[in-house]
Structure 1
């Protein structure tokens, strides 16, 4: 199926590993050109080179921290050098672990900048380019925790909920410019971070990290397993495509049945 993505220019944050890398590869398989963004330059460059060689598309690696004004400016400059962008995937983010009573202001601010202000600043910079190119797509990677919070990460829950609302309000503002904005809320996705955490938590009790992760899946997901980054990436690619042109301002849960409410 031709998804109409050939030669589209996509900016993807958090693109060097996990979900971001899988989305980048999914778009590259459809012929999209990629501006990949992450903080760690060597790993990012290696990923950009790998995808370019595998799929024969143009890639650019932009080492930047999108939680900062300067980092976002570097991303905007890279898009300008390519003549703009057609797709923005706001994927950069990370989990947290704290209590509300003990977390300092600085930690709240850091997550707000990463999960919310990065999306705000990138929209301000890239939406005008999309307008001049006749339209575009913006996708926000939030979390099931935006609607169904986990007790141990209140800052993550709150900032991802804010990102989901930002996605909704941005969608209303820019649909007149033929720019579609949607939000994806994943459940349990088997990223390297999950594996790293599981290995740490089981290091002193036998090291059965796979068993630990299966227990998490059994507890939370009716499908009884984690999703793969590639499974989630397929949904991102579809929402970027011209097969999803009536999808505007929505939040989609890709969670193996984890969400318990309507």
Structure 2
């Protein structure tokens, strides 16, 4: 199936690893040009070089922290200068947390709010006017099943991802008249470095390996019995970016191996 993405310009935050990298490669495979943003400059530039070589598309690296207003500004400026604007924005930058509500200080809550919510708000303000001028576009938010079905050890992650889903719905309603489709994706268990980091933290000083811990998480939660590979998640993102998904507006899509225990 031709996804009609050739020569579109896609911006992917958190694009150097995990789901973001898989989405970037999936879009490049369809002929889309890329602006990838992440904080680790060396890894980001290596990834961008590999994508350009592997798929023959234009790709730029924008090392920046989108949790900061100046990071968003740097990304928007780079996209405007290199491509004249963007057709697709994938808000993927994010990370898990580990705390209790009673012990987490205000600045920890604020840091996750800036990363998971305000980055998406600022990027919409920065890029959506250009999408409108180009005739429309797509904005996708990588949220989490935890936005609906929270994990007990990461309340800040749960809360901020839930807020991101609501922001996505509100933004969809505001922008659809401009031809910009906005949706959210709630992945379940995905084998990313972030999950591995969390597992290592939770098993430190115990008799359980982090690998065994993650397998138990899969056994306990996902009827499919395993974590997803990032590419399995990315395939859904790439389709939702496509004109083939032209009737998808303001929705949240679960891709969780059967983990979600409700019908909504």
TM-score by length of 1: 0.97
Residue 43 (1) aligns with residue 43 (2): yes
The answer to whether structure 1 residue 103 and structure 2 residue 109 are counterparts is: no
User: Is the Cα contact below 8 Å between 1:138 and 1:180 reproduced in 2?
Assistant: yes
Which residue matches 2:214?
213
Whether 1:258 and 2:259 are equivalent positions in the alignment is: yes
Query: Over aligned residues, Cα RMSD in angstroms?
Result: 1.2
CA distance in 2, matches of 1:208, 1:120: 39
Structure 1 pair 42/175, CA: closer, same or farther in 2 (3 Å)?
same
CA distance in 2, matches of 1:160, 1:44: 25
Partner of 2:133: 132
* 1:66 aligned residue: 66
Q: CA deviation at 1:198?
A: 3.2
**C-alpha distance after superposition, 1:146-204 (max 9, x if no partner):** 01111111111110000000000000000011100000000000002223443455565
Match of residue 26 from structure 1: 26
Shift of 1:121: 0.3
Structure 1's unaligned 5+ residue stretches are none
Name the CA distance, whole Å, in 1 between partners of 2:100 and 2:93: 23
Instruction: Provide the secondary structure at the position in 2 that maps to 1:243.
Output: helix
Query: Residues 151 and 204 (structure 1 numbering): CA distance in 2 closer, same or farther, change over 3 Å?
Result: closer
Taking the TM superposition and a 5 Å limit, the aligned residue runs for 1:1-262 are 1-81=1-81, 82-199=83-200, 201-202=202-203, 204=205, 208-262=209-263
- CA deviations on 1:101-160 (whole Å, 9 max, x unpaired) are 111110111100000000000000000000110000000000001011111111111100
How far did 1:78 drift? 1.0
Kept in 2: contact 1:221–1:257 (CA 8 A): yes
SS in 2 for 1:134: coil
